[in-house]
Structure 1
Amino acid sequence: MNSRTKKTSWKDRLHEIIYEADTKEGKLFDVVLLIAIIASVILVMLESVESFDTKYHSYLDISEWMITILFSLEYILRIISIKKPFKYIFSFYGLIDLLSTIPKYLSLIFIGSHHLVALRALRLLRVFRILKLTRYIGASNNLIIALKASKAKIAVFLFFVVIVCIILGTIMYMIEGEENGFTSIPRAVYWAIVTLTTVGFGDIAPQTPLGQLIASTIMILGYGIIAIPTGIVSSEMTKKSSTIDSNTQSCANCLKEGHKDDAEFCYHCGSILNE
């Protein structure tokens, strides 16, 4: 019985260090992990510079293997420290952690696949937990909720923009013609989209005074259109805004985070939270 209790508390302690950032050990673990991720991404970038890789290839390779082994050990520890490993393995962060670990091993079979370790940059999303910026996590959740709530309005708006681009592109095709680069209606619609979004590649440009007048109108209209989706989402965020008083404590059973500071049970599965 004592041995079982000892084993459980060891796993709980490991879970607290790896999955949470409210303790000194947990924060230190995440900071070291963050440094390793940044170093790994920098190594991949340097390896893509031919002159640098030619001179320091062996050092870069050894460094990458060291970081890969570190991430492999971390991945294994994450799996054994929770009650339901598949919850982590098939979670967003679990898949990212796996994808950021296997490319170096795959490079032994498939040449060039190790460059996929750049996916490790996605692991930098953990910076929110590392710096204990839970209020920003809450804000990001509010943004997702607001986007979902306003998706119908945004869809209608985008549909309207597409119609406007088709109409304006057709008009410009009729005005400018093939001699000025508007060789077809689809190409003219492409120009209208590029102009309306204020990108302006410059590969096609109207030459006639009337065409230039319409182009100027589209450009001004583009600035006004940019503000509309922002207003829609901002309105929904105002409705959904709430005070966030959660922490980084993670449930060992379902991996849900964002529990309130005084919570004793997981809000999702009801399991007792580690002290």
Structure 2
Amino acid sequence: TIIIIMTTEKKVTSNNEKINETVNNLYFFNLDNDNCEIVSRKKKEDFYNEKSNDNKKNYLMSPKLSIPTNELLLKAEENGKRKFSWMDTENRVILNVGGIRHETFMHVLKKIPATRLSRLTPNLANYDPVLNEYFYDRHPGVFAMILNYYRTGKLHYPTNVCGPLFEEELEFWGLDANQVEPCCWMTYTQHRDTQDTLAVIESLDLDTEPPSHEEIAKKFGWEEDFYSGTMSSWQMLKPKLWSLFDEPWSSRSARILSIISIFFVIVSIVSFCLKTHPYMRVPEISFNATIYDNEPLHVIKNSTSRAHPYFFYVELICNIWFTFELLSRFIFSPNMKKFCKDPINIIDFIATVSFYIDWGLEELFSDTNRDTVEFFSIIRILRLFKLTQHSSGLKILIQTFKASAQELLLLVFFVLLGIVIFAALVYYAERVQQNPGNQFDSIPVGLWWAIITMCTIGFGDMVPKTYLGMIVGSVCALMGVLTIALPVPVIVSNFAMFYSHAQARSKLPKKRRRILQPHEVKPIVGRSTTAALLGTIASSNSTHFVTERNINIPENGDTHPGIERRYYDSLIENFARNMNHFTLSISRRPQDDLIQAGVAYGIRWG
């Protein structure tokens, strides 16, 4: 067995001085014995000039030297002297990932068992026996980090790719994403926080664009009827009526109804507040007298006031609208169970029902108990939360408090802890010295002073009089400032995060170009389109059949048939959507256009 190796050498004189002249030598090795005898050495130029040495030429293959996997190749190292060492080629593996070739050894891929690369065999469909390599149409940049993981045992996250793409590649190669090194873990997990934030924003329904008919049909669960075109009149009417009351941005009529709803909410709240003003109330004077022999013995005068009757009519009109709106939204809702569980709808229902209950019970109570009845009408103020349906900022603010619930609970815990501690301290501090004007007669009284001081309000109704009490008060105020200020940056950052993502999402195009899935791409039938792209088909009129559709390529003398960019959309859309037979004329331009069109629309040209 003879193997040929080409080396690049520098000429060396007798005193080991290198000469700037490069010589390409071909070494012929005989592997039939254990000594690896060098049969001969020739210059590359001389070897090619020998016309009669055809047998030796067969060992030298072009453009690459292909060595059988069951042989051993010699590696030449030139460090002034020629040294030859054995290099195992039996386990060498060539991996072509996304057009980038990677070479490694099989024992390296065996380091991580139960993965795709650890089970490579020539029987796989990805193996190319001609090129002696495995081809995978995956991301080459991520694969470089994955292959490095096999070599070093450390998985690092490339910062130039998105997190979901990295996870998808790891899943394809059968690797665990939790093996990412600690130095890259924080950067790697940022995409998870972003995905959670986007999921929350998606649930808030902040879209200001009208939903499409397909999206509405999907929300109501009528996809099959929508695509088949068998929707009834009620199915056509119900989504439109629902959009009027629940989607303020769906149409001009929906905006008008939204403005009317906001107007009635504001009028209801203003009326509820104004009717408590003394100038807006009507005085009522009642007498209770005891009469004996037609002469009063005892006369009790009771003076009260009640809201002006006009406020009742204002609230009646407002609640009629709220009742109509609530019933309409319930009847036209896509999911009635989900509608009943919505907190905003629950508040709206209770506030509306409370008005009718107050109206019915008003005559059953005496005038002295009328204030007790009106007290329960305070729940109508909660109608202000209905405004969140019309403001994305309010939705984001409420979601910010939900996301910061853990920090807020921690804040409440530390505040309560400080209140109890400083209430006890100020109570005993005021009793240590003689203090005739001591206002802290118990620890529960000190709780009120402590919470007012920690919140830096300071009403001044209770103040310490002794020096020790003043010191306790100063420390209490200082600790209150520090305790309350600590979670504020977290809440602000959460709001900024939600708001920035919401703004970015609002600028994102809602309708994106449809990408065909691999199972949706049908193979090309007929003459090879690849040949047409490479210009190997003659310029005569010809037709290339793609599934059930054909393309007529006119004759214009160009050897590279292609397609102009302005025809991309119409051509591919017809390929993907139109189910009828049709013929398209394509003007011939540089072949790259048609190739890029196929890649851009996810169509594989065969």
TM-score normalised over the length of structure 1 = 0.73
**Equivalent in 379, 383, 396 of residue 138 of structure 1:** 396
Q: Which residue is equivalent to 1:197? A: 455
Report how far residue 233 of structure 1 moved. Answer: 3.5
Task: Please say if 1:47 is aligned against 2:47.
Answer: no
Assess, with a 3 A threshold, how the Cα gap between structure 1 residues 6 and 84 changes in structure 2: closer, same or farther: same
Which whole-Å CA distance do the structure 1 matches of 2:487 and 2:459 have between them? 23
Partner of 1:161: 418
- Native 8 Å contact 1:46 1:52 kept in 2: yes
The equivalent residue for 1:63 is 314
- Other structure's SS at 1:32 match: helix
Shift in Å, 1:116: 4.5
* Secondary structure, aligned partner of 2:460: coil
The CA deviation at 1:70 is: 1.4
Q: Do structure 1's residue 94 and structure 2's residue 345 form an aligned pair?
A: yes
Higher helix share: 1
Partners of 1:37 and 1:121 within 8 A in 2: no
The match for 2:257 among 29, 47, 65 is 29
Q: 5+ unaligned residues in a row in structure 1: which ranges?
A: 248-259, 264-275
State whether structure 2 residue 379 is matched by structure 1 residue 122: no
1:101 to partner: Cα distance: 1.1
> For residue 6 of structure 1, what is the amino acid of its counterpart?
S
Question: Retained in 2: the 8 A contact 1:47–1:57?
Answer: yes
Give how far 1:163 is off. Answer: 5.4
In angstroms, what is the RMSD of aligned CA positions?
3.5
Cα displacement string for residues 15-70 of structure 1 (whole angstroms, at most 9, x for unaligned residues): 10101121322221111111111112222223333542439834322222222211
CA distance in 2, matches of 1:115, 1:189: 28
Q: Residues 220 and 129 of structure 1: is their aligned pair in 2 closer, same or farther, counting only changes over 3 Å?
A: same
* CA–CA separation in structure 2 for the residues paired with 1:171 and 1:118: 41
Distance 1:155 1:45 in 2: 31
Gaps of 5+ in 2: 1-224, 284-306, 363-369, 513-606
Residue 7 (structure 1) aligned with residue 234 (structure 2)? yes
Distance 1:108 1:152, change over 3 A: closer
What SS does the aligned partner of 1:54 have?
A: strand
Letter in 1 for 2:386: R
Report SS of the residue matched to 2:501. coil
Q: How far, CA to CA, are the matches of 1:110 and 1:168 in structure 2?
A: 50
Aligned partner of 1:212 in structure 2 is 470
Structure (1 or 2) with the larger CA radius of gyration: 2
Q: Match of 2:308, as an amino acid?
A: H
The answer (yes or no) to whether the contact 1:177–1:183 under 8 Å persists in 2 is no
AA at the equivalent of 1:10: L
Specify the code of the residue in structure 2 equivalent to 1:46: L
State the one-letter code of the partner of 1:183: D
**TM-fit CA distance, 1:227:** 1.1
Q: Distance in 1 between matches of 2:384 and 2:358?
A: 23
Q: CA deviation at 1:235?
A: 5.8
Partner of 1:222: 480
Deviates more, 1:179-188 or 1:72-81: 179-188
Q: Structure 1 residues 49, 197: closer, same or farther in 2, change over 3 A?
A: closer
| Deviations, residues 112-168 of structure 1 (Å, cap 9, x unaligned) | 4466555343333333442xx4355235423421333x3564365346424542553
CA distance 1:48–1:91, shift in 2 (3 Å): same
Taking a change above 3 Å as real, the CA distance of residues 28 and 246 of structure 1, as seen in their structure-2 partners, is: farther
Q: Distance in 2 between matches of 1:156 and 1:44?
A: 35
Q: Which has the higher contact order (CA 8 A, sep 6+)?
A: 1
2:257 counterpart letter in structure 1: F
CA contact (8 A) 1:173 1:188 kept: no
Q: Which piece of structure 1 moves more, 18-27 or 169-178?
A: 169-178
Tell me the SS of whatever aligns to 2:456.
coil
